[in-house]
């Protein structure tokens, strides 16, 4: 027999109206009552009827998440946190892996009424599809993208500021012969980190020559290849990598060349992937606050879906420095 909200109300000892308010995310319900209702739903295995809710509210009760470059180890952690937060807020999620600038999957999903708004984590700079959705009045949020010219809401790590702090960290600790391995130039995060890093070096009067820098995709292979190329021009006393996964490849290349880390060369990354704490890498890194980014992103998008028409909000979340063995911390 199909369960109804009346059954849940009876099991929780509340009114049917209270159950409805919990299902619709009303802020007028106390935390204690909400938890009692949600607990009753879990106990009896109740699943809300999404089609019925859509008919009542003219909403799908779901958001779309567009991503790309899912081979980047950072993205699964971000997606996991975004979907977890959405579940907490009683919102369904549709995920599209789409690097087409026109964003056809998201556009079709919005047109079909599958989702009420779209959250973009795709790394590429192309914004054609995003701009069209914004022009149509579709609620859109850019998550960890650095397109500060966009008229959409943005929640992201302070990529530029993290690049500045990375350079200052190395300089303050006496590193002077610094090399760098940057990620692709057609994304948002890597160029912003590179720009901040270079600006801080220039401000300190430190020159970083062309042969001391290289770039590639956000992969282990890029770091490994680039470090070997850098060693052909001498051994630096520090290597800055614009992502942790690049740093892993660089560290293995340095070890293969018998360049001791950290005794001879330091290695610094950005992202804060769990693997960075593994003994094989013990990588000093700037850790992105994925939990704060995900929660702020989903909440802001839901506010837009609920009718918030205020000016776009651009939220920068600072990264946290975690010092480990690759820069001499023990």
> Could you read off the pLDDT of 204-243 as tens digits, one per residue?
999 898 999 999 999 999 999 999 999 999 999 999 999 9
Give residue 25's pLDDT. 61
Report the chain's terminal Cα–Cα distance, integer Å: 61
Give residue 52's pLDDT. 47
Give residue 55's pLDDT. 40
Residue 330 DSSP SS3? coil
Q: In the chain, at which residue ranges do the beta strands (DSSP E only) sit?
A: 62-67, 92-97, 117-120, 140-143, 153-157, 178-182, 213-215, 238-241, 266-271, 284-287, 314-317, 320-322
More confident call, 203 vs 312: 203
* 56: pLDDT strictly greater than 60: no
Percent of the chain beyond pLDDT 70?
89
More confident call, 43 vs 126: 43
Give residue 54's pLDDT. 46
- Mean pLDDT to the nearest integer, 114-141: 79
CB atoms within 10 A of CB 276: 21
pLDDT digits (tens, 9 = 90+) for 258-292: 999 999 999 999 999 999 999 999 999 999 999 99
CA distances from 275 to 74, 163, 229, 309, 319 (A): 11, 21, 25, 41, 17
More confident call, 76 vs 49: 76
CA distances from 147 to 107, 169, 218 (A): 20, 26, 19
More confident call, 29 vs 102: 29
pLDDT digits (tens, 9 = 90+) for 67-103: 877 777 888 999 999 999 999 888 999 988 877 767 6
Give the confidence band of 152 by pLDDT, cuts at 50, 70, 90. Answer: confident
Residue with tokens 């990588």: 283
* 58: pLDDT strictly greater than 60: no
* Contact in structure between 166 and 193 (CB atoms under 8 Å): yes
Tell the burial category of 6 from Cβ atoms under 10 Å away from its Cβ (0-12, 13-18, 19+).
exposed
Give residue 97's pLDDT. 83
Give residue 251's pLDDT. 98
* 1: pLDDT strictly greater than 60: no
- Mean pLDDT to the nearest integer, 159-172: 97
Distance of CA 225 to the CA centre of its chain: 26
- pTM of the entire predicted model: 0.78
Instruction: List the domains of the chain with CATH numbers.
Output: 5-44 (no CATH), 60-157+289-318 (3.40.50.2300), 159-288+321-327 (3.40.50.2300)
Question: What sign results for the dihedral spanned by CA atoms 268, 269, 270, 275?
Answer: negative
More confident call, 166 vs 39: 166
Give the confidence band of 123 by pLDDT, cuts at 50, 70, 90. Answer: low
State the average pLDDT for the chain: 87
């Amino acid at each position: 027999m199909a369960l109804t909200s009346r059954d849940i109300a009876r099991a929780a000892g509340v009114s049917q109206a209270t159950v409805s308010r919990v299902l619709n995310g009303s802020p007028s319900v106390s935390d204690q009552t909400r938890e009692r209702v949600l607990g009753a739903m879990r106990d009896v295995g109740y699943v809300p009827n999404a089609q019925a809710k859509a008919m009542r509210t003219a909403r799908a009760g779901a958001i779309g998440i567009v991503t790309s470059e899912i081979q980047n180890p950072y993205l699964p952690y971000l997606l996991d946190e975004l979907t977890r937060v959405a579940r907490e807020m009683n919102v369904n999620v549709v995920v599209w892996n789409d690097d087409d600038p026109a964003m056809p999957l998201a556009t079709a999903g919005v047109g079909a009424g599958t989702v009420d708004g779209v959250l973009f984590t795709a790394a590429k700079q192309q914004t054609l599809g995003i701009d069209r959705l914004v022009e149509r009045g579709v609620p859109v949020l850019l998550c960890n993208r650095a397109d500060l010219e966009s008229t959409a809401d943005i929640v992201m790590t302070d990529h530029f500021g993290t690049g500045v702090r990375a350079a200052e960290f190395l300089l303050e600790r006496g590193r002077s012969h610094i090399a760098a391995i940057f990620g692709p130039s057609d994304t948002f995060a890597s160029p912003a980190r590179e720009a901040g890093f270079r600006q801080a070096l220039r401000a300190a009067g430190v020159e970083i020559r062309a042969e001391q820098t290289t770039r590639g995709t956000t992969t282990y292979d890029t770091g490994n290849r680039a470090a070997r190329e850098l060693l052909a021009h001498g051994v630096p006393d520090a290597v800055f990598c614009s992502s942790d996964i690049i740093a892993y490849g660089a560290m293995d290349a340095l070890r293969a060349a018998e360049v001791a880390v950290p005794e001879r060369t330091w290695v610094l990354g950005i992202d804060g992937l769990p693997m960075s704490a593994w003994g094989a890498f013990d990588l000093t890194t700037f850790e992105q606050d994925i939990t704060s980014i995900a929660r702020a992103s989903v909440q802001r998008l839901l506010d837009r879906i609920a009718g918030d028409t205020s000016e776009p909000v651009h939220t920068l979340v600072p990264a946290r420095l975690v010092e480990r063995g690759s820069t001499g911390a023990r």
